[in-house]
Structure 1
Amino acid sequence: MPPAPMWSPELRRGLARLLTFALLCAVGLVVGAPAQAAANLVRNPSMEASAKGFPQCWKRTGQGKQNFSYGVTSTARTGKAALRITIGAFTSGSRGAVMDCAPTVTKGRQYDLSVWYTSTSAATAMTLYRHDAKAGWQYWTDLATLPATKQFKQKTVRTPPVPAGTDRITFGVNLYGAGTLVTDDYRMVDATAAAPRSTCKIGERCFKGHWQVMPYQSSVRAIHAAVLRNGKVLLVAGSGNDPNAFKAGTFKSAVYDPNNGTFTNVPTPVDLFCAGHVALADGKVLVMGGTKDYAAADGSVGYKGLANSYLFDPTTNTYTRTNDMAASHWYPSATVLGNGDVISLGGLGADSSGTTTTEYFDASAGRWLPQNDVVQTWEWWGLYPAMVLMQDGRLFYTGSHTFGIGLPGSGARLYDYPNGKWTDVPGLQDKDFRDQSMSVLLPPAQDQRVFTVGGGNGDVGATAGRLTDIIDLKAANPRYTAGPLIPRGALANGQTQAADTGKMYVSLVLLPDGTVFETGGALHNRADPVFEASMYDPATNTFTPMAADPVPRTYHSSAFLLPDGRVMAVGDNPGNGSFDMRISVYTPPYLLRGTRPAITTLASTQWGYGSTQRITVDRAVTRASLIRPAAVTHSSDPNQRFVELPMTVNGNTIDLNVTNNPNIAPPGWYMLFVHGANGVPSVAKWVKVG
């Protein structure tokens, strides 16, 4: 059924955080004195010193509608004072307190934050804020959800590495519902592990990584790729943009095993060429739409879409048909929602005209809802419109699409599905020339920033651009701002491309270290490949050149993360109708720095929202994250996301704190990575969230 109303608990918490750090920005925080010899960086950690009835070096925070009170209680864990927050009648918002004397911090270092507490409510969150020299105070992340307890209980969480530009941090506990929260004995200590020296001695590879072109080729034209929960890769061709294969009814898919280089051919029921696809919570891949007919040679009739829909089961390597969608779609979007359902928009219909029907897949029932049961806008959203799920349940249309010129509005929109409304978002550069640009939700997903890169226009044959754009979806009125230009690369003839040219058909891959790998692309529609790759660092907003894939990757190409931390690239379909069947695999520099950590045990592979999950590792680790497996085609994978997992560390036993917001991590299977002090990630373990 349709997702939760907009005033969901997740949205209330999101708004509470926004207004809380807005208040922090407005009033400012007092700079604490430099840390002395004592390890604890918190001033007045036990609330014993007070002024005007409130603990010194602490500040009230909160907003919304509720009956609340603050007080200092003698029912303390130690000493004679603790901080009490009580909410009675509750409608919305939150109440909390944070350190007013915020300690200074150092870039790259990590800190263990702890608090002792009692609470009659489980509607609590340990929340972290950071102060940046340019941006001021801002919400950083929720560290953990705290279960209700009558007895004092301690919670300790390690921060992620402090990003560049952050000079102070503060934290506290927020109460999001009726109840009483008591906190005492706060602690903040530097917990940074010494980073071992890199063992890489292979020259340029140490800084740029390296590619390997596999000694075998793909058994199918890899136009669509989906990483499965068993680590294998579903490669879908359908007819593979081959009119002869379409006429013959030759439709192909294959499952590729990166571990042994084998392909298992899969019977493919219809032409799934240019379909949409997304992984569901159970690990099956939902595939919708495809090609009913090719365009006429004289251009009098365009491509036509299918209404068919299938579930691909990775345990049996088979497609099973669901009910049809309400309309036909060629190049449809597919975005998984926080309740596990899927929304699909755009594409071309059975008559080759733009499809205006919004489709909604009820995952629990395994069926597409009838058109009258779905909120409709009757808008045409284009071909493969990139729709990113936001933390409050809305969708953000990033402006990345395939083909098209003169699309209405500013090129990007905030879309409120339950109410059938949208709002234009300003700032996207050259909106009509972002054909086969790519957009990703930057690491970590909790930051709610989207990065849109490159693009051109296949309809008019324009030269692709180097533009990038960044938007903060947490802002009260989000708008795109210009990002750094894509680095220039080399053309097929070895010449360096001109300063004012860029690439379309670009691929962006979220990596376990929180960076974004940019690779592939071309100057023009199905022509002039650009040999360039780079690493984008969200913390510094910069690109660093990396080794380029030696295989051209233009139209119908994709790149995606494998569970071992490498990147696989497939496809290339130039204007002469040929298709490059070679497979390239990229080893990032982080895999050349030393020994990898390993996750030795998982207490469970089934992870609930707001839960704490225990793992053990074989050495000290500094970070943990979940990465949603790729389901990518045509520079489009709006479901790709990196979710930070705040850690509680006790030697080699690690407790990982899972977000309580399913819009941050929609239900499904994720790759779990941990990172050693040398920055090297583990091989991923698979866990199911939700």
Structure 2
Amino acid sequence: MTPRPWISRRDRRGIAQALVLTLLLVLLSPVRPASASVNLLVNAGFETLDSTGFPLCWERSGWGDNTYTFDVDHPGRTGANAMRITVSATGGGDRKAMMLENPSCAPNVTPGHQYDLSAWYTSTTPNTVVTAFRRDVAQGWVYWTDLVSLAPVTAWTEVSVRTPPVPPGTEQVVWGVTVYGTGVLRTDDYAMVDATQPTPDLSCSAGEACAKGAWKVMPFEAPVRGIHAVVLHDGDVLLVAGSGNSEETFEAGAFTTAIYHPRTGTFTDVPTPADLFCAGHVQLPDGRVLIMGGNKDYPAADLSHGYKGLRDSYVFDPATMSYERVNDMSGGSWYPSATIMGNGDVIALGGLGEDSSGTVATQYFDYSEERWLGIGEANQTWSFWGLYPSMILMRDGRLFYSGSHVFGNGLPGTGSSIYDYQAGTITPVPGLQNKDERDQSMSVLLPPAQDQRVLTLGGGNIDTNPDANALTDIIDLRQPSPAHTPGPPLPAAKMYVSAVLLPDGRVFETGGALHNRADPVFEASMFDPVTNTFTPGMAVDPVPRGYHSSAFLLPDGRVMAVGDNPGDGSFDMRISVYTPPYLFHGARPQILGGVDTAWAYGSSHTVTVDGPILRAALIRPAAVTHSSDPNQRFVDLPMSVDGDEIGLNLTSNPNLAPPGWYMLFLLGTNGVPTVAEWVRVG
């Protein structure tokens, strides 16, 4: 967990003495069973001080290189005392008004329950956030989550927020207000009450679909090969084929794109300016789609060259349903990755260049100038990252290369690393299993993004073509020295696997094949990030989904799957749609009235609903190809609840929720999500 200042023996002795002197207070502490409307906190108003003059059951917490003081301010909002933190200089780190991690001080909690937290504060800095830690049976005290950012205020102001459901294995929690910038924070009158809603009736009359969900193959086919799929912020789906892995189509210059309209089951053809087959793509902050590179040429019959990458780059505009040319990249790119950064810029890495060799340049798109920087303008490490390397933006602005890639062996060394664009450094990350057999595995930033955990699933190797594996790896990027650890095996071994983040916080994995472009695997499962377990036996897509297949979330909470390109050169044009089990468990909650569409970082927004809500989240819409969507993420929205009005609190960190359009989902206590509302972050 976050480092804390050393507590002297004198302080410990003083705390112990104060605990004895305040036996009655301790007896009223949260070791008793939690019940609704009872404040579970000890010394919530700071009125009892220990022998050092500091509030009993609270500590001087924090880490990093900063200049600070903790003291007791007089008078408090109510009573004699308030806690004050003054940070006069900071070189990193934070200070926390945090309750003591002591069995008699930290409130006991019940896994699965939610708690309403509240406190009063004044602050001279916007760099404040409510932070929670939890005591896990196996791990001890660990960071849990940041709940809500606080605006500067001069008069006493109450902040209230509801926690997510307490994870399994959690015995106690502590929480408080964190200051990570210079300024003065005062807090007083904390409260914590059990806000758990009664368990709703989860009966279901849909048979197997109640537990497994159900697939439907659409009664029509796509007019283009679904090599690339992007969910646009109007709910339509952009399907890009280019030449679609057909040399005859390439020679004819018959490049194709279509927009699928799920609400009507219709398509709109879009003129396609170049062979965008195996290009990179990412959604820009304004909802347009940046597409980079593609196919300049297929391999020569005499083997004098392989695939060649294009320099071309385009922006697709959903408003006009057309491509617009932007300046060329500094080099050709076939199979490049693309990751949006916290400032809205884009970094593209990897792929093959115009001469069929590996691209070693870092290519950087400046969103404000709407252009690719020149080769000398972008920071360079001259490193080759493979093809479609999975590059996931971390909360501190660095990129995590998970080891998921396309075509053959992984990179030399550990096969995984952390890339700091600003510093120009690459730090190896240990622990990835069988790095040379993670070809067309898939990696996802697990829900919620605030937890910074990445899951990598399956994979194979198209060169040596062994049986695909059932390996999974999990990494916690919050650790000082992150390392992969083995996760639970997939229920079935597969490469070309698709993994989709769902509104209930689980990951649906589907599709795949046992060998290179052969032997489809008909299996699907659900992964629960809370318990780190797979639930096997989900309903299976009846259409094979191997090479050049994708699955992705629709705004109505269903999952759409496209594509399959086996070794005989054919392509399956059928579209399948999966209805997850949650849609069979009762009525959807409804968001009543309009929703603000413009969301600034650190802001709060109120929505009105027609029933009790368990959780709220933003999910970034898909831009997926070749088992790769490094920008897919689920951002928790801590809630404050007042009857049918739900306050939603957005993180202040743009690296956790990069700017752009998101699907806003609210999850009812029956586990059923709303239809998404679209909001623009940034």
Aligned residue in 1 for 2:649: 657
Q: Give 1:299 deviation, angstroms.
A: 4.1
Aligned residue in 2 for 1:33: 31
Query: CA-to-partner distance for each residue in 1:397-440, whole Å, 9 max, x for gaps?
Result: 00000002263111001101112210111100000000000000
Alignment of 1:76-475 (within 5 A): 76-100=76-100, 101-297=105-301, 299-405=303-409, 407-475=411-479
Distance 1:410 1:281 in 2: 34
Q: Secondary structure at the match of 2:97?
A: strand
Indicate if the aligned counterparts of 2:500 and 2:509 stay in contact, CA closer than 8 A: yes
What TM-score, normalized to structure 1? Answer: 0.93
Q: Give 1:648 deviation, angstroms.
A: 0.7
> Which among 575, 586, 592 is matched to residue 583 of structure 1?
575
**Aligned letter for 1:301?**
H
Distance 2:647 2:655 in 1: 22
RMSD over aligned Cα atoms: 1.7
Cα distance, 1:335–1:36 mapped onto 2, change above 3 Å: closer
Distance 1:325 1:257 in 2: 31
Q: Secondary structure at the match of 2:185?
A: strand
Q: Secondary structure at the match of 1:54?
A: coil
Q: Secondary structure at the match of 2:249?
A: helix
Q: Secondary structure at the match of 1:89?
A: strand
Q: Secondary structure at the match of 1:18?
A: coil
Cα distance, 1:452–1:20 mapped onto 2, change above 3 Å: farther
Q: Secondary structure at the match of 1:259?
A: coil
Cα distance, 1:487–1:560 mapped onto 2, change above 3 Å: same
> Which among 473, 497, 501 is matched to residue 506 of structure 1?
497
Query: CA-to-partner distance for each residue in 1:476-522, whole Å, 9 max, x for gaps?
Result: 1111000011103xxxxxxxxxxxxx100000000000000000000
Matched, 1:75 2:67: no
Indicate if the aligned counterparts of 2:518 and 2:566 stay in contact, CA closer than 8 A: yes
Q: Give 1:20 deviation, angstroms.
A: 4.6
Matched, 1:598 2:602: no
Indicate if the aligned counterparts of 1:199 and 1:592 stay in contact, CA closer than 8 A: no
Query: CA-to-partner distance for each residue in 1:27-62, whole Å, 9 max, x for gaps?
Result: 999995224777110111111111121111111101
Cα distance, 1:270–1:180 mapped onto 2, change above 3 Å: same
> Which among 520, 525, 528 is matched to residue 516 of structure 2?
525
Indicate if the aligned counterparts of 2:337 and 2:348 stay in contact, CA closer than 8 A: yes
Distance 2:354 2:93 in 1: 47
Indicate if the aligned counterparts of 2:30 and 2:40 stay in contact, CA closer than 8 A: no
**Aligned letter for 2:519?**
D
Q: Secondary structure at the match of 2:481?
A: coil
Q: Give 1:64 deviation, angstroms.
A: 2.3
Q: Secondary structure at the match of 1:552?
A: coil
**Aligned letter for 1:170?**
V
Distance 1:237 1:405 in 2: 26
Query: Tell me, which stretches of 5 or more residues in structure 2 are unaligned?
Result: 17-25
**Aligned letter for 1:505?**
Y
**Aligned letter for 1:93?**
G
Distance 2:349 2:530 in 1: 32
The alignment-based identity, stated in percent, is 62
Query: CA-to-partner distance for each residue in 1:184-240, whole Å, 9 max, x for gaps?
Result: 110000111113112411221110101000111111000000000000000000001
Distance 1:484 1:597 in 2: 33
Indicate if the aligned counterparts of 1:22 and 1:138 stay in contact, CA closer than 8 A: no
**Aligned letter for 2:583?**
L
Query: CA-to-partner distance for each residue in 1:97-136, whole Å, 9 max, x for gaps?
Result: 2122111111111000000111122221111111111121
Distance 2:66 2:429 in 1: 32
Query: Tell me, which stretches of 5 or more residues in structure 1 are unaligned?
Result: 1-16, 489-501
**Aligned letter for 2:2?**
L
Indicate if the aligned counterparts of 1:602 and 1:614 stay in contact, CA closer than 8 A: no
Distance 2:612 2:555 in 1: 20
Equivalences, count: 658
Aligned residue in 2 for 1:547: 539
Distance 1:166 1:344 in 2: 40
Query: CA-to-partner distance for each residue in 1:229-275, whole Å, 9 max, x for gaps?
Result: 00000000000101110010000000001111000000000000000
Q: Secondary structure at the match of 2:521?
A: strand
Q: Give 1:664 deviation, angstroms.
A: 0.3
Q: Secondary structure at the match of 1:206?
A: helix
Distance 1:584 1:385 in 2: 27
Deviates more, 1:208-217 or 1:32-41: 32-41
Q: Give 1:181 deviation, angstroms.
A: 1.2
Indicate if the aligned counterparts of 2:410 and 2:437 stay in contact, CA closer than 8 A: no
Indicate if the aligned counterparts of 2:2 and 2:62 stay in contact, CA closer than 8 A: no
Distance 1:300 1:328 in 2: 18
Distance 1:19 1:312 in 2: 46
